[in-house]
Structures are given as C-alpha cells and as structure tokens.
C-alpha cells in the first residue's frame, strides 16, 4: 500500500465517496414524494401531503446535520486506514436507510414508525461517534486534539442529533419543545466555547 493510499489521498477519496452517498440519500427523500391523484386547490393539496412534507423537512434537516457533522469530523483527520473505511461504511449504510425511514413515517399507523425512525437517527449518531472515537483515541488518525475537546465532540455527535430529532416531533404537538431545543443549543454553544478556552489555556 502506497503512502498516498494510506494518507491524504485515501482520506480524500473517502470524503468524496461519503459526500456522494449523502447527496443520493437527500435526493431520494424528494424522489419518494408523489402528489395525490386527486386534489382540489392548494389547501387540499397541502392537507393531503402535509405529513409527507413534514417528514421530508425533518429528514432533510437530519441528513444535512449529519453531513455537517461528518465533514467537521473528517476535517480533524490527517489520514485514514481500513478500519476507518469499515466504520465509515457503517455510517453511510445507516444514512442510506433514511429515505426508507421517512417513507415509514408518512405511512405509519398509530405512531408505530416514530420510534423506528428516531432509533435510526440515533444509530447514525452513535456510528459517527464510534468513527470519531476510533480515529481520535485508538487509530491516532486525527490531528492533535485536547482530550476534553475530543470527548465533547464524541458525545455531541452521539447524543445531540437523536435528541433534537425526537424533540422536533414532540414540538409538533407540544410547543414547549421548541424552547427545550433552543435552550439545548445555547447551552452547547456555551460549553463549546468553555472547552475551547480551557484547551487554549492548557496549550499555552
């Protein structure tokens, strides 16, 4: 195996392949939406398609958030190896299931698809967190990162998307859910700045 295959070239190809999977997943979300056979005016159209459009909007946001998380994690890496490839394939395999999970949402009966969908979103977060944990702590594939910051990134990726996804559905019924999500984001921003200051102080 050449240095390019195991170093920056390997990492670059892995990122390109991952971006393609994310792009396909987010495109399939829209392709699976079909208009009703009969509708009478804009109000009736949106009344019939409301559930599909809400599910699409949430899944679009989920894919976008995970793509951003994936990109930010890979920006922290300096090389890749076979183990990282396997872990990344697990992440992408779960992401590719999101169009199916979204279709289950708008065809669900008595809310049975809700825990399945949120569970899928949570599994993607755990898979990305496992990828980062391996790269940062085991495989030593990441650029030097303070331990507190590395742990924070792992926990944020593992827990935040699933929690925010679940709260998005809760907020459709209980408006206070939006306040909980906003407070969570503000708290994480404060914690992120706090960890950055501590890491900077330790570096100096």
Judge whether 177 and 121 are in contact, CB under 8 Å. Answer: no
Question: In which domain, by residue range, is 67 found?
Answer: 3-203
pLDDT value at position 3?
Answer: 43
Residue 44: C-alpha distances to residues 36, 50, 54, 89, 175 (Å): 10, 10, 16, 42, 25
β-strand partners of 142: 77
pLDDT value at position 166?
Answer: 79
d(CA 26, CA 40): 29
**Torsion, CA 132, CA 136, CA 141, CA 146, rounded to 10:** 130
Number of domains in the chain: 1
User: pLDDT per position in the chain (204 positions), as tens?
Assistant: 444 455 678 898 999 999 999 999 999 888 877 776 777 767 776 776 677 778 888 888 889 889 988 999 999 999 999 999 999 999 999 999 999 888 888 777 546 788 888 889 999 999 999 999 999 999 889 888 888 888 888 888 888 888 877 787 777 778 888 888 888 888 878 887 787 776 666 666
pLDDT value at position 54?
Answer: 81
């Amino acid at each position: 195996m050449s240095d390019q295959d195991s170093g920056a070239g390997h990492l670059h190809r892995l990122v390109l392949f991952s971006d393609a999977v994310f792009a396909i997943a987010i495109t399939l979300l829209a392709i699976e939406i079909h208009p009703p056979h009969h509708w009478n005016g804009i109000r009736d159209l949106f009344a019939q398609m409301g559930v599909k459009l809400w599910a699409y909007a949430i899944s679009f946001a989920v894919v976008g958030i995970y793509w951003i998380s994936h990109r930010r994690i890979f920006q922290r890496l300096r090389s890749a190896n076979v183990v990282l490839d396997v872990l990344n394939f697990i992440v992408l395999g779960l992401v590719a299931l999101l169009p199916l999970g979204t279709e289950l949402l708008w065809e669900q009966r008595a809310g049975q698809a809700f825990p399945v969908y949120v569970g899928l979103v949570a599994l993607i977060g755990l898979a990305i967190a496992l990828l980062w944990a391996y790269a940062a702590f085991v495989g030593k594939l990441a650029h030097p990162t303070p331990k507190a910051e590395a742990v924070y990134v792992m926990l944020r990726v593992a827990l935040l998307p699933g929690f925010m996804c679940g709260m998005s559905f809760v907020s459709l019924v209980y408006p206070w859910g939006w306040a909980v999500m906003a407070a969570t984001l503000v708290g994480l921003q404060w914690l992120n700045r706090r960890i950055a200051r501590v890491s900077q102080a330790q570096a100096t």
